Structure 1
Amino acid sequence: MPKNWLSYDQQVDLLSQRGMRVDDNVAASEFLSRVNYYRFSGFFRHWQHDPAKGDNRFFEGTSFDDIRSLYDSEQELASVCDELLHPLEILLRTKFAYAYGRHVGVTGMFARGEGFTQSPQQDAERVEEHALSNLDRSKEAFVAHYRDDVKQGRTYKPEAYDRMPIWVAVEAFSFGTLSRLIEASGDSGVLDHIADSMNTSRKLLPGQVKSFVYLRNRVAHCAQLWNHRVLDVPGLQPKTSRRIKRTYRNFSDHSVYKILVALDDVATRSGISTNWLEDTIEPLLDNHPLLAKGITQPARYGEMPSNTLID
């Protein structure tokens, strides 16, 4: 069906018509002028009877202020995640450049795929192509300084980066590319060096870094974390998982909380944070049990009981 343009006040009226309690229409309209109605609907659809089949009525007792409080709490969670992901990403860039330079080579080696284990699939893209793509698109002056004008058509050839040290190149890689390079460095000694220097598991680190990229991307793009089922699930030591479940709370395998546990573990082991989960995450979740429910045990639309949603 065609959609009609609605003013912010009309959007509030629509929510009221569908049964949501709105105690302050002006404040609600002002909120929707800052937070897109469609973004907000990703939260409030859990309070609707059956939106997939067009039944957009809200459960009795549904409150705009309650859902807004949930949204605001998630924004706070995203902010504190970003505060730790940022220094951890910088640490991983530093550790990779140092280890690669020592075990494989300093200049140009990465551009030729040296030290990386390639996919056995014949038509798979080579690992270094991700790094080269990042460098080719970069407008940074430090990249241009080390990049020679050696091209095939409009694309730079690997030889264009023969003078570029790995510690320069790594600063132009996306976090996703860095994750791929770390994962592909198992046979060259680079991954072992990184894991040892961070006092963490060689086996678990690549998957954990991949999950950190996943979380960072969701935070960077302001994507919903509450009731989101994670695709890139990190591994945890069994004793770590048992300790967290015993000390704090239970969590499902595809929860955002599992990434937070892995993030806390790696940050603690590498020395960039202490008690982040206990001192920062847990108080936030304790203050908002509904946020905690969707972060630790994500549910699809219709799966979360109405008595959980409405106090």
Structure 2
Amino acid sequence: MAVSVKAFKSYDEQLDILTDRGMDVGDRDAAIAQLQRLNYYRLSGYWYPFRRLSNSGKRTNDFQSGTTLSDVIALYDFDGRLRTAAFDALVPVELALRAALGHALGEIDECAHLHPESLSTRASGQIYDRWVESYKQEIDRSKEEFVTHHKERYEGTLPVWVAVEVLDWGSLTYLFDFAPNAVQERVAGEYGLSAPQLRSWMKSLNVIRNTCAHHGRLFNRTHALRPKMPPSGKFPALDQVQAVTNRTFGQLTMIQHLRQARELPVSRMLGAVIRSYPHANRAVPIGRVGVLKDWDQSPLWTT
């Protein structure tokens, strides 16, 4: 008979499971304190690569020889630092995209975001209708002073260069997709990219941003979306990561390019975090992040 839900385990029982499977948990009181702070299930994603491989290539429940809880915690802490640095590096990129798109659309129509006739034919059907509904709900929920000002003085209508300030990255990506082709190419051109390339980058980096915001595992993620890249030779530093654009390091390199293209300094914090990788564990090499040999010699990572 199938069990409907896993049975509850005390912290001591959780440690017993780990030790029975071959993990050295060290001092039990300290180990219990870590489980209380971090949650057994959350940590399981970080000890997964420490589990033995069977002959068929599947992970078993037993850990590789020498696996320690301290190594798992070090990997967990590294991932936390990586998320913090990635989010920090993305903030000015997001703000610059908002500003560029809001200004370019405003030149066409002060309320281009609400006038599909001022946008491309992609601004139609249920997708656009749902976007507008979501946007209006965000305006209704907003407590920002600039939104209140426009409600009091302009009946709540925000011009597009103001409206972009209430959009999250996902909604901004949709607005970019709705924009006329000429606007897309103008904004993308500021980064040395084509419109389809920038659109794919925005979609990919939205996943990175959401992973950071929701405390997801980032360091060894293989991303489902592989962004479109410029032709080989246009940006040699991007050519170097062509093979790993679906890995975290490849996408962090894209963030560095977007910063540099807008004359923002590359993120030193990102580089410092990558240098802090816990190399002491041999089961999970830094290559799991997608990091390449001599990565810090790239002009996108040289600080």
TM-score between both structures, scaled by the size of structure 1: 0.76
Match of 2:167 among 168, 173, 181: 173
How far 1:56 sits from its partner (Å)? 1.8
| Unaligned runs of at least 5 residues, structure 2 | 292-303
How far 1:63 sits from its partner (Å)? 1.4
User: CA separation in 1, counterparts of 2:32 and 2:193?
Assistant: 48
Query: Residues 263-278 of structure 1 correspond to what in structure 2 (within 5 A)?
Result: 263-274=255-266, 276=268
How far 1:186 sits from its partner (Å)? 4.2
- Equivalent position SS for 1:33: helix
TM-score between both structures, scaled by the size of structure 2: 0.78
Residue in structure 1 matched with residue 133 of structure 2 by the alignment: 132
Q: Is 1:194 equivalent to 2:187 in the alignment?
A: yes
How far 1:273 sits from its partner (Å)? 2.1
* Residue deviations 1:274-297 (CA, integer Å, cap 9, x gap): 365984465245867836222118
User: CA separation in 1, counterparts of 2:197 and 2:269?
Assistant: 19
Whether contact under 8 Å (1:285, 1:292) holds in the other structure is yes
Residue in structure 2 matched with residue 61 of structure 1 by the alignment: 66
Query: Residues 7-26 of structure 1 correspond to what in structure 2 (within 5 A)?
Result: 7-26=10-29
Distance 1:48 1:272, change over 3 A: same
Q: Is 1:296 equivalent to 2:297 in the alignment?
A: no
Residue in structure 1 matched with residue 79 of structure 2 by the alignment: 74
Aligned-residue CA RMSD (Å): 3.3
* Residue deviations 1:44-86 (CA, integer Å, cap 9, x gap): 1222247999952222222111111111111111111011111
Distance 1:241 1:277, change over 3 A: farther
User: CA separation in 2, counterparts of 1:287 and 1:186?
Assistant: 48
Query: Residues 216-227 of structure 1 correspond to what in structure 2 (within 5 A)?
Result: 216-227=209-220
Residue in structure 2 matched with residue 105 of structure 1 by the alignment: 109
Q: Percent identical across equivalent pairs?
A: 24
User: CA separation in 2, counterparts of 1:59 and 1:49?
Assistant: 5
User: CA separation in 1, counterparts of 2:65 and 2:96?
Assistant: 49
User: CA separation in 2, counterparts of 1:211 and 1:74?
Assistant: 19
How far 1:128 sits from its partner (Å)? 5.7
Q: Which amino acid aligns with 2:165?
A: E
How far 1:6 sits from its partner (Å)? 2.2
Query: Residues 83-122 of structure 1 correspond to what in structure 2 (within 5 A)?
Result: 83-102=88-107, 104-106=108-110, 108-119=111-122
Q: Is 1:36 equivalent to 2:28 in the alignment?
A: no
Q: Is 1:27 equivalent to 2:30 in the alignment?
A: yes
Q: Which amino acid aligns with 2:211?
A: R
User: CA separation in 1, counterparts of 2:260 and 2:43?
Assistant: 34
Whether contact under 8 Å (2:74, 2:278) holds in the other structure is no
Residue in structure 2 matched with residue 46 of structure 1 by the alignment: 49
How far 1:8 sits from its partner (Å)? 2.5
- Equivalent position SS for 2:62: strand
Distance 1:208 1:54, change over 3 A: closer
